[in-house]
């Protein structure tokens, strides 16, 4: 799996498998306070949506990003940044994530969901070069 990220105003992540062959995209959608993304197939057709919480606060609990149907009417999965305890959270940059999605989801879209997990980690939980926490929606 190969991941290519384009940064203009919003982030767009392209997942390739094998390298050079796009299998899908994760596109950041504009929203004033919610992290929102669209999962697209290789033809750029919308397949799923991801909606995160308004406040990304990792204080003693998991942080859930809901995976929803395209019309956002039903939840079909979740990407969770799992709480690992105060010491690990405070003194390391290591994170644990869990991903759940429908068993019958196309294998290419499963790879794109893993790419979405990497993007969410980068946007909300990794520190920039100056050791400051990234701000996610308002990068």
* pLDDT (0 to 100) of residue 133: 52
pLDDT given at position 130: 56
Residue 126 pLDDT: 81
- pLDDT of amino acid 138: 44
| pLDDT, average across residues 7-22 | 84
Torsional class of 113: left (φ above 0), alpha (ψ -120 to 50), beta (otherwise): alpha
The per-residue pLDDT for range 67-125, each reduced to its tens digit, is 999 999 999 999 999 888 777 767 777 889 999 999 999 999 999 999 999 999 988 88
pTM of structure = 0.82
């Amino acid at each position: 799996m190969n991941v290519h990220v384009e940064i203009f105003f919003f982030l767009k992540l392209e997942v390739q498998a094998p390298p050079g062959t796009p299998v899908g995209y994760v596109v950041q959608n504009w929203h004033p306070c919610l992290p929102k993304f669209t999962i697209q197939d290789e033809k750029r057709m919308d397949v799923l949506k991801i909606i995160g919480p308004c406040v990304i606060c990792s204080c003693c609990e998991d942080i859930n990003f809901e995976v929803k149907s395209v019309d956002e009417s039903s939840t079909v999965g979740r990407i969770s940044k799992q709480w690992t305890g105060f010491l690990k959270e405070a003194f390391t940059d290591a994170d644990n994530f869990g991903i759940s999605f429908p068993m019958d989801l196309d294998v290419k879209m499963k790879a794109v969901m893993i790419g979405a997990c990497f993007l969410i980690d980068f946007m909300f939980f990794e520190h920039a070069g100056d050791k400051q926490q990234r701000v996610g929606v308002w990068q």
